[in-house]
Structure 1
Amino acid sequence: MPESREAHDEKPEATRAVITRRAFLKYLLLTVGAALSAPFLPRPVFCAPRTIITRRIPRTDEHLPVIGMGTWQTFHVGSDTRLRDARTDVLRTFLKMGGGMVDSSPMYGSAEQVLGYTLERIDDSSSLFSATKIWTPFTGQGISQIMDSHEYWGLEQFDLLQVHNLLNWEKHLETLLEWKSLGLTRYVGITTSHGRRHDLFEKVMTTAPIDFVQFTYNIVDRAAEDRLLPIARERELGVIINRPFQGGQLFPRFEKLPLPAFAKTFDCRNWAQFFLKFIVSHPAVTCAIPATSRVDHMIENMGALEGRLPDEGERRMMIQYIASL
């Protein structure tokens, strides 16, 4: 089987230890009290010598590079040092080429531990925009998961904490909003994927005090155009796109076919850039998070940060071209 260019499935992992809110707050006071008393300032989210495409996070003056990085499957490599070092090269390439957002979850097996390993070995990770999730039906266990995530990543503060797939979303959002007020995270959000639970997702988008949403959108799965993207734009929410390559399925379908000649007009040199530029050219999208375990694929993905984005007419041409193949 060829390696998947990107995937974002849903599979369970082992149960984590449960910790109470009271114990967690005690942990905060003991371990990060000094950090919480410091001025709460936005951290820089990219540092690259060339001009790259960024988007403003709604309701802020902060900008993110439009291409981020996912870690589902690709960073779940356990304790294998050879594979961990290979993922270090992938993350180093991502950051060196101007990347910012790295998204993970307790659901992704060893991905968060591997991220911590890679970050320890990268000289300059100042452009990192760290994003992870709570994924459990149990409120106390969600607190435990985020404590684990702090330890795994080696971070006192996350940029973004999200409720994964709306699991126990009401209680977990209460927790995340409390952490935001304490300075342990700068933003909070919710996620879904594969087109699931859009009705409930819309309800939370329109009623909860969140900053970001994450869902699936790509050139062959455009259901989010009907409701989610317009609502996000109206509510001024940051939008993170998962499954930009439809779980890697777009490459077997199209990679042996020629790119359309018009792709050159908006600086696309390969199919990865074609698919990614379609997504991030939507005005409501903040960034897409393709995943890869290979440096050469990362270089292709990050090329979508350069040049021009397609306009509305060119986006229609892209849709029509894909439909004709």
Structure 2
Amino acid sequence: MSEHNPLFSRRRFLHCVAGAGILPFLPVSPVAAAPGETITRVIPSSGERIAVIGMGTWRTFDVGNDVSLRDARTEVLRTFFEEGGQMVDSSPMYGSSEEVLGYALQRIDSPPLFSATKVWTRGRRSGEEQMARSRRLWGVDRFDLMQIHNLVDWETHLETLLADRDEGRIRYLGITTSHGRQHEELERIMREHPLDFVQITYNMLDRAAESRLLPLARERGIAVIINRPFRGADLFRRVEGRPLPGWAAEIGCEYWSQVFLKFVVSHPAVTCAIPATRRVEYMKQNMAAGRGELPDEPLRQRMLKEL
């Protein structure tokens, strides 16, 4: 992705107005795109827009040295980009996923990549070495987004990432959690530090973030990435064997996966969801959720009653 010259001055401005309580009155992104076009959302700290459906790699890209599986994941990634995707999220925690991503990226011409990974270790030097290794594995000069994974040694790594962002070694910084028990600490960090992104769990069954974290992200001008939008396979098990409701066609849904994703990305605080898949056909289904109409609030409430 290209670098935006006003990034840092705009970031400072937005964090100032957030502290003054102005951000809730800034315009929000529309809930639909023109037919066939990818829906995008604004990254508040820069004004850059990004597609609302990204791609996770937990488990799905951890295939080791098996060339046939690596080639299959390359086709999944290629389809993601062809269908309008940008953000690819990974972590050193995910086994061979970063190495497999690097293998796949080498085989795709000019991918519109928004690269997002994490630091997941303790200590400043160990963190710096881990991030350098991730750059080598991905084959990138710098990451668009570097995140502190599950708040591990966050105070140490935040100091490093703030310097890296200011000096252009990364474009954005963030912190992630997939544990509800960390919400209170994450809320405090969001209030006290100049984050660009947070990554949290949110789906039709796990909605604790609606009460405080998502409103706070809007207030503070922090972009939000959603992990586990399907809650593993739990949501699919809930609707197994059931036909789609009649209202699904009104928002362009042909599969339950699209219903689940459209619920997530229709929340006005959500910037991008990162479902993961091993299969090209499922990738196409996921990416179709990032086009057309999104549900309004009355329909969102109706959707929840289906579970």
Q: TM-score, normalised by structure 1?
A: 0.83
For residue 252 of structure 1, report the CA deviation from its aligned partner: 2.3
Distance in 1 (alpha carbons) for counterparts of 2:244 and 2:3: 49
Work out whether residues 255 and 271 of structure 1, in 8 Å CA contact, stay in contact via their aligned partners in 2.
no
For 1:140, the equivalent position in structure 2 comes to 125
**Structure 1 residue corresponding to 2:79, chosen from 93, 102, 106:** 93
For 1:233, the equivalent position in structure 2 comes to 218
Code of the residue aligned with 1:65 in structure 2: it is: A
Code of the residue aligned with 1:74 in structure 2: it is: T
For residue 41 of structure 1, report the CA deviation from its aligned partner: 4.9
Distance 1:74 1:97, change over 3 A: same
Matches within 5 A, 1:34-183: 41=5, 50-125=36-111, 127-183=112-168
SS in structure 2 at match of 1:241: strand
Code of the residue aligned with 1:252 in structure 2: it is: R
Matches within 5 A, 1:280-291: 280-291=265-276
Work out whether residues 150 and 176 of structure 2, in 8 Å CA contact, stay in contact via their aligned partners in 1.
yes
Work out whether residues 173 and 195 of structure 2, in 8 Å CA contact, stay in contact via their aligned partners in 1.
yes
Distance in 1 (alpha carbons) for counterparts of 2:243 and 2:181: 33
For residue 40 of structure 1, report the CA deviation from its aligned partner: 6.1
Work out whether residues 115 and 145 of structure 2, in 8 Å CA contact, stay in contact via their aligned partners in 1.
yes
Q: Deviations over 1:263-307 (max 9, x none)?
A: 111111100100000000000000100001111110110010111
Work out whether residues 245 and 251 of structure 1, in 8 Å CA contact, stay in contact via their aligned partners in 2.
yes
Distance in 2 (alpha carbons) for counterparts of 1:155 and 1:229: 31
**Structure 1 residue corresponding to 2:277, chosen from 279, 292, 299:** 292
Distance in 1 (alpha carbons) for counterparts of 2:245 and 2:67: 41
**Off by >2 Å, runs of 4+ in structure 1:** 38-43
Work out whether residues 36 and 292 of structure 2, in 8 Å CA contact, stay in contact via their aligned partners in 1.
no
For residue 196 of structure 1, report the CA deviation from its aligned partner: 3.0
Q: Deviations over 1:58-77 (max 9, x none)?
A: 13221010000000000000
**Structure 2 residue corresponding to 1:250, chosen from 215, 220, 235:** 235
SS in structure 1 at match of 2:254: coil
SS in structure 2 at match of 1:102: strand
Decide which moves more: 194-203 or 237-246: 194-203
Matches within 5 A, 1:180-195: 180-195=165-180
For residue 208 of structure 1, report the CA deviation from its aligned partner: 0.9
Aligned-pair identity in percent equals: 59
Number of equivalences: 279
Work out whether residues 4 and 46 of structure 2, in 8 Å CA contact, stay in contact via their aligned partners in 1.
no
**Structure 2 residue corresponding to 1:207, chosen from 192, 211, 219:** 192
Unpaired runs of 5+ residues, structure 1, are 1-37, 44-48
Work out whether residues 57 and 63 of structure 1, in 8 Å CA contact, stay in contact via their aligned partners in 2.
yes
SS in structure 2 at match of 1:172: helix
CA RMSD of aligned residues (A): 1.7
For 2:15, the equivalent position in structure 1 comes to none
Code of the residue aligned with 2:205 in structure 1: it is: V
